[in-house]
Copies of this chain bind each other. A is one copy, B any other.
Amino acid sequence: MTDRTVPADPQAAMMRLGCCYYPEHWPEAMWPQDAARMVAAGLSRVRIGEFAWSRIEPEPGRFDWGWLDRAIAVLGQAGLGVILGTPTATPPKWLVDRMPGMIALDEQGRPRRFGSRRHYCFSHAGYRAEAVRITRAVAERYGRHPAVIAWQTDNEYGCHDSVVSFSEAARAAFRRWLAARYGTVDALNRAWGNVFWSMEYRSFDEVELPNLTVTEANPAHWLAFRRFSSDQVVAFNRAQVEVLRSLSPGRDVMHNFMGFFTQFDHHDVAADIDVAGWDSYPLGFLDSFRFSAADRLAYARQGHPDIAAFHHDLYRGCHPDGRWWVIEQQPGPVNWSAHNPAPLPGMVRLWTLEAMAHGAELVSYFRWRQFPQAQEQNHAGLLRPDSSDAPGLGEARQAAADIAQIGPTGAPPRTVALVFAYDADWITTIQPQGRGFSALWAAFDCYTALRRLGLDVDIIPPGRSLDGYALCVLPCLPHIPDALAQQLARFTGQVVIGPRSGSRTAEFAIPEGLAPGVLRDVLPMRVTHVESLPPGLAHRGDGWAMTRWIDHAEGAMTPELVAEDGTVAVWRHGKYRYLATWPELALAAVLMRRAAIDAGLAVHDLPEGLRLHRAGSRTFAFNYANRPVEVPQSVEGNPVIGQRNLGPAEVCVFEASSI
């Protein structure tokens, strides 16, 4: 295994802590005390400003900089590095009233109106110009301010399903985008197979958005619209980045991504910024996403043990340089899920140290103090609304001490590469074929299987170098770029390829010669037909089951795992394995163990809820279970933090080279 180069930025050598702060929420007299308490707790970074447009520009063209000047001064003088947000996620009412067409329309054609946030359509040229204008104004004033060390563009692009819009602005922009992509409308008709139901267009101006059709629109139409919508986010972000680069040299530009969110191509946005940020809410995500009832109970106050880690590894791989921050870390109960329990004591520290183990440069808690009003009044902060310490503050303080004790860590090792692409999730959700099929969750389940074996995983996009990895996993990539197919053919490690991979062209067609299309050089077979299975219908093997999906194949590959009734679950051809069904956890465990062992990787039998991660010479162990577990003896090293027997929410850090 090859260690990565330690980043050149010395700040990144040791992970920093920070918080999100809203000086505009609090009397100015409280600011100095707040800043002093942050520093005393071990925080050195503070994010501000991202929702403050109505205070920065209370009337059109009239700016009120005084309060923000003073806030930055107070924070900077306390020794805090300021991460300044552009306020474009919350345009003020006067702007919406002047520019009503900037509002997005939802898929049902309803306006998505002012009154919360993200009330804009990414395709609206007028609003994009306004976003650039306010970004320029803020950057002109603070771009070279010594306390300002980084920028956040906007806030959580796409939150509340805000990537797609079915507005007039979006329709016009989509037509231009199509003209640029296809050149002629005949090319578009052919690419999409529009002959199918007389859907042929005579000009790009005949193309509509794919919503509100009588039955489903052409999946190729949807895929183009998803690509277009993603590109609009990229362009919107890039316009701000260009302003910031020119007016604020030397500062990092970051955006805060979300969890389990695939509505735009994060790899494309990440290519324009310096640091991939993300907002980590393990309990909210457990409750909001597709976890089993058993997991919801077992991990109600911890979060499923792979939620945070999956995203750490995803966003570390998202940026070409591997730089990433947790810019919003859940510090206690949140307000926005259907049920909002409190973390077990210790979890805030555990989540913080886990980010460290995965290579974060920064963990910043959301938020400093709980605001007693408005939408998130039930969202915890490090302080309660009355400024008393909330439990998260003590855990942050403890984490700061731990980090100091652990010292700078090396980068995570290169062991397993898991390849994920955003269009994979677009394709499978546009055309699940079996209800609920999603490439994102296929990736997550493969990731869980690998992590239960104690393996470290990098999640990378197609096209990233595979050098140094012992095992490469493609959980589900319907569209395989030619370059990736060639990489896989040259790759010397073990390869696991999951269902539906290679089953579609870039234009959402079944490839010539059938699936796996361009993968046929490494998978010498042909998928003759596919099945999706209703709940309860399964083909059972030795302790595992084929569920949800079957790729029936024929060709030169060898059956490796076969259900009792003869249905093939896993095919093998030398170092290449093909998983012809959903990565059900027991089946994925058998498969990944075989592949890892063939790859020369050491695997561990971890108790339920225990997870490991290496960083340089250290191995971190995290107990997500709600009962004590023991780190197996196969994990070598001496504890420098904690001990082998871990209570709930406890952490142990071993000093020794990882396996």
Contacts and interface: CB of A to CB of B under 8 A. Distances in A.
B193 A374 contact: yes
Most chain B CB within 10 A, of A25, A342, A371, is at A342
B373 A202 contact: no
Interface string A507-533: 111111110000000000000111111
A262 interface: no
A110 B113 contact: no
A211 B52 CA distance: 23
Most chain B CB within 10 A, of A108, A212, A221, A536, is at A212
Interface of A is mostly: loop
Most chain B CB within 10 A, of A370, A385, A511, A513, is at A385
A335 interface: yes
Interface in A186-242: 192-202, 206, 208, 210-221
A564 interface: no
B197 A375 contact: yes
A604 B92 CA distance: 61
Interface stretch (A124-132, A429-437, A627-635, A638-646): A429-437
Contacts of A433: 335, 340, 378
A528 B293 CA distance: 29
B25 A375 contact: no
Interface stretch (A114-122, A245-253, A411-419, A590-598): A114-122
Contacts of A332: 529
Nearest to A59: B202
Contact of A384 (B215, B378, B514): B514
Contacts of A197: 51, 90, 116-117, 374-375
A288 to B, nearest CB: 11
Nearest to A534: B339
B537 A297 contact: yes
B338 A216 contact: no
Given A51-B198, A385-B514, A528-B384, A94 B206 contact: yes
A208 B113 CA distance: 9
A162 interface: yes
A67 to B, nearest CB: 11
Contacts of A532: 339-341
Nearest to A538: B297
A443 B431 CA distance: 34
Nearest to A193: B373
A481 to B, nearest CB: 19
A108 B52 CA distance: 29
Contact of A115 (B97, B221, B333, B531): B221
Contact of A195 (B54, B195, B196): B54
B514 A386 contact: yes
Contact of A92 (B52, B97, B200): B200
Nearest to A505: B372
Contact of A372 (B92, B110, B510): B510
B213 A119 contact: yes
Given A113-B213, A197-B90, A198-B87, A373 B220 contact: yes
A465 interface: no
Most chain B CB within 10 A, of A93, A206, A339, A507, is at A339
A58 to B, nearest CB: 7
A160 interface: yes
Interface in A48-63: 51-55, 58-59
Contacts of A220: 373-374
A205 to B, nearest CB: 9
A77 interface: no
B91 A198 contact: yes
A354 interface: no
A109 interface: yes
Interface in A288-318: 293, 296-297, 300
A494 B213 CA distance: 49
A626 B264 CA distance: 45
A534 to B, nearest CB: 4
Nearest to A161: B214
A97 B208 CA distance: 11
Contacts of A108: 108, 110
A589 to B, nearest CB: 25
Contacts of A434: 338-340
Interface in A66-93: 87, 90-93
Contacts of A215: 116-118, 159-160, 375
A118 B196 contact: no
A90 B218 CA distance: 14
24 contacts: A51-B198, A54-B198, A54-B200, A55-B200, A92-B200, A114-B199, A114-B208, A115-B221, A116-B197, A116-B217, A116-B218, A117-B215, A159-B215, A192-B374, A193-B374, A193-B377, A196-B374, A296-B534, A338-B534, A342-B529, A372-B511, A372-B512, A373-B510, A384-B528
Interface of A: 24-25, 51-55, 58-59, 87, 90-94, 97, 104, 108-119, 159-160, 162, 192-202, 206, 208, 210-221, 287, 293, 296-297, 300, 332-333, 335, 338-342, 370-378, 380, 384-386, 388, 390-391, 431, 433-435, 507-514, 528-537, 552
Given A216-B375, A390-B528, 19 more contacts: A51-B196, A53-B198, A108-B110, A112-B213, A113-B208, A113-B213, A117-B198, A193-B377, A194-B374, A197-B374, A197-B375, A199-B374, A332-B529, A372-B509, A373-B510, A378-B530, A380-B529, A388-B528, A391-B529
